[in-house]
């Protein structure tokens, strides 16, 4: 039994009617999203607090503002993004019109996770709508309060014929994926990513997978330990560590570790006070399952900072682990919690070798006063994105594409990249019926003399190259 057939058919019919194509329609939907954010701000903040104990500050900068920016960007640029992109022509096509037309795919599926349950629903949604698609949203069932708002409140701000929300857990999602979509945008972990890609292959559905991994953070000896500690700690413990681009582990020498530890303790105390559990600015773990998973990791190595936990509140203290071995469980999976292991290396070369042995991460961080060191790390590794001397600030720039590589994902979005991701780029060449004499060079029967002329018509622009034979 396929419970989604009707919903999908009506979306497909709506798309087929062409109503999502005009810029006015798309802009109206985006304005709807604007109103949704403005009119439900308090409810959204409350939902984030409920699901993740997210402080208003964190919610503001990592969820609401980002969504707002993306909506505004799309509204401001929709017309220019939708315009045909004229391309350079060769000799044979000089008199023709050649352009790339960006078209919607059709019915698009967006599957979002629980860690930034507003951001990771709305930002892809903005791209899909701006590109002219109909959308099915499948928000995460784990962030229950936000799921409620998305399914009960959001639809009233959008055209009901072109937009649907589907709820459920892994079972329902599996059934959903048995249907045909024209594009699938998935944010989550690599193993589910494989399942999504496999399901997509049955219909040859193009996809974007925003996955994760263990994001290495290299700290050079030549640095200001307190500055580094502030930055690393903030990005690590933000949202209680439940961020796909958070620095997952530190690589540094023993001596730097000795300088970092007090600095990190300093940062933690400054940020969250002597008793972090009492701080309103520290988040909580999303579920009991993840809480227990993380609590198990606290026993790896030795907790130099933190190490406490509280099952009732699903609270895990901001923790820094030392004496961690490469083979420990904490180094086998993406941590996704407020635990920061430090592994020792003797040199940057060792750090680079360590990183290259493993799967390509979503983000990579390098801290050093010496820009040559930062550059070396950048050049000799691969990752989705890279930030030198800070945490995931690169994500806040909508002019930088955000996405993974290898195990951390495929495809990208944010800003115009979202629009392009949800569009099919159709190459168009419009010729005239004239100039047929020129064309006759290509028709049989062939004579040797045609060859030379033909050669000069195609793309041979490099001077001095002797290609005539």
Among 5, 28, 95, 454, binds other proteins (CB under 8 A): 454
Does residue 382 touch other proteins according to CB under 8 A? Answer: yes
CA dist., res. 413 & res. 124, Å (int): 8
Segment 221 to 240, residues that bind other proteins, using CB under 8 A: 223-224, 226-228, 230-231, 234
Among 92, 110, 285, 331, binds other proteins (CB under 8 A): 92
CA dist., res. 116 & res. 44, Å (int): 12
Does residue 400 touch other proteins according to CB under 8 A? Answer: yes
CB of 110 to other proteins, least distance (A): 18
Does residue 35 touch other proteins according to CB under 8 A? Answer: no
Given the rule CB under 8 A, which of 169-177, 248-256, 336-344, 424-432 is the region that contacts other proteins?
424-432
Query: Given the complex with other proteins, which of 35 and 292 has the nearer CB atom?
Result: 35
Query: Given the complex with other proteins, which of 120 and 352 has the nearer CB atom?
Result: 352
Task: Cis check for the bond before 269: say yes or no (omega within 30 of 0).
Answer: no
**Residues in CB range of 222: below 8 A, 6 or more apart:** 368, 369, 370, 373
Does residue 306 touch other proteins according to CB under 8 A? Answer: no
Note the helical H segments in 83-178. Answer: 119-130, 144-152, 170-176
CB of 440 to other proteins, least distance (A): 8
Of 134, 162, 217, 244, catalytic: 244
Binding mask 59-88 for other proteins (x = CB under 8 A): -xx--xxx-xx--xx--x----------xx
Does residue 394 touch other proteins according to CB under 8 A? Answer: yes
CA dist., res. 410 & res. 208, Å (int): 6
Among 409, 418, 421, 422, binds other proteins (CB under 8 A): 409
DSSP 251: E
User: Nearest 5 degrees, angle CA 360-CA 109-CA 135?
Assistant: 135
Which residue, chain included where needed, has tokens 């599926």?
109
Of 70, 147, 210, 334, catalytic: 210
Distance of CA 198 to the CA centre of its chain: 20
Query: Given the complex with other proteins, which of 1 and 461 has the nearer CB atom?
Result: 461
Among 8, 48, 52, 98, binds other proteins (CB under 8 A): 98
Clarify whether 244 is annotated catalytic: yes
What angle, 0 to 180 degrees and rounded to 10, lies between the N-to-C axes of helices 41-52 and 23-39?
Answer: 70
**Closest C-alpha among 97, 157, 154, 102 to residue 127:** 102
Binding mask 318-357 for other proteins (x = CB under 8 A): --------------------------------------x-
User: Nearest 5 degrees, angle CA 102-CA 107-CA 111?
Assistant: 105
Does residue 7 touch other proteins according to CB under 8 A? Answer: no
Segment 103 to 142, residues that bind other proteins, using CB under 8 A: 103, 105
CB of 156 to other proteins, least distance (A): 24
Q: How far is CA 45 from CA 33, 48, 123, 238, in A?
A: 16, 5, 17, 16
* Total interface residues for other proteins by CB under 8 A: 119
CA dist., res. 434 & res. 163, Å (int): 46
Clarify whether 334 is annotated catalytic: no
**C-beta of residue 120 within 8 angstroms of C-beta of residue 66:** no
Does residue 436 touch other proteins according to CB under 8 A? Answer: yes
**What residues are labeled active site?**
210, 244
């Amino acid at each position: 039994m396929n419970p989604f057939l009707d919903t999908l058919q009506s979306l497909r019919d709506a798309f087929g009617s062409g109503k999502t194509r005009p810029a006015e329609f798309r802009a109206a939907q985006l304005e709807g999203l604007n109103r949704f954010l403005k009119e439900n701000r308090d409810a959204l903040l409350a939902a984030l607090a409920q699901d993740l104990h997210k402080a208003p500050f964190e919610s503001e900068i990592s969820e609401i503002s980002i969504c707002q920016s993306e909506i505004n960007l799309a509204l401001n640029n929709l017309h220019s993004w939708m315009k045909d992109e004229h391309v350079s022509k060769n000799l044979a096509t000089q008199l023709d019109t050649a352009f790339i037309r960006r078209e919607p795919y059709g019915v698009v599926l967006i599957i979002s996770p629980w860690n930034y349950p507003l951001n990771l629903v709305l930002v892809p949604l903005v791209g899909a709508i701006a590109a002219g698609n109909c959308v099915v949203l499948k928000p995460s069932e784990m962030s229950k309060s936000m799921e409620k708002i998305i399914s009960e409140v959001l639809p009233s701000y959008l055209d009901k014929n072109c937009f649907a929300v589907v709820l459920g857990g892994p079972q329902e999602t599996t059934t959903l994926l048995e249907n045909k979509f024209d594009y699938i945008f998935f944010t989550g972990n690599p193993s589910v990513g494989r399942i999504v890609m496999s399901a997509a292959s049955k219909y040859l559905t193009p996809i974007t997978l925003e996955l994760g991994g263990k994001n290495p953070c290299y700290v050079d000896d030549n640095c200001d330990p307190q500055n580094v500690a502030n930055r690393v700690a903030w990005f690590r413990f933000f949202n209680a560590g439940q961020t796909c681009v958070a620095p997952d582990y530190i690589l540094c020498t023993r001596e730097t570790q000795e300088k970092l530890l007090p600095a990190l303790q300093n940062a933690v105390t400054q940020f969250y006070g002597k008793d972090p559990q009492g701080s309103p600015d520290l988040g909580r773990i999303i579920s009991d399952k993840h809480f227990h998973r993380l609590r198990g990791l606290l026993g790896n190595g030795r907790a130099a900072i933190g190490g406490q936990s509280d099952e009732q509140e699903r609270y895990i203290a901001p923790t820094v682990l030392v004496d961690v071995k490469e083979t420990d469980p904490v180094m086998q999976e993406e941590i996704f919690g407020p635990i920061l292991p430090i592994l020792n290396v003797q040199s940057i070369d060792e750090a680079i070798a360590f990183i290259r042995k493993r799967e390509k991460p979503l983000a990579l961080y390098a801290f050093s006063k010496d820009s040559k060191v930062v550059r070396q790390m950048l050049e000799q590794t691969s990752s989705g994105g890279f930030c030198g001397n800070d945490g995931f600030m690169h994500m806040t720039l909508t002019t930088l594409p955000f996405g993974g590589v290898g195990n951390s994902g495929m495809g990208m979005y944010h800003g115009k990249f979202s629009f392009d991701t949800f569009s099919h780029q159709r190459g168009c060449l419009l010729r005239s019926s004239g100039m047929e004499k020129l064309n006759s060079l290509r028709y049989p029967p062939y004579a040797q003399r045609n060859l030379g002329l033909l050669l000069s018509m195609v793309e041979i622009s490099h001077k001095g190259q002797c290609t005539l034979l």
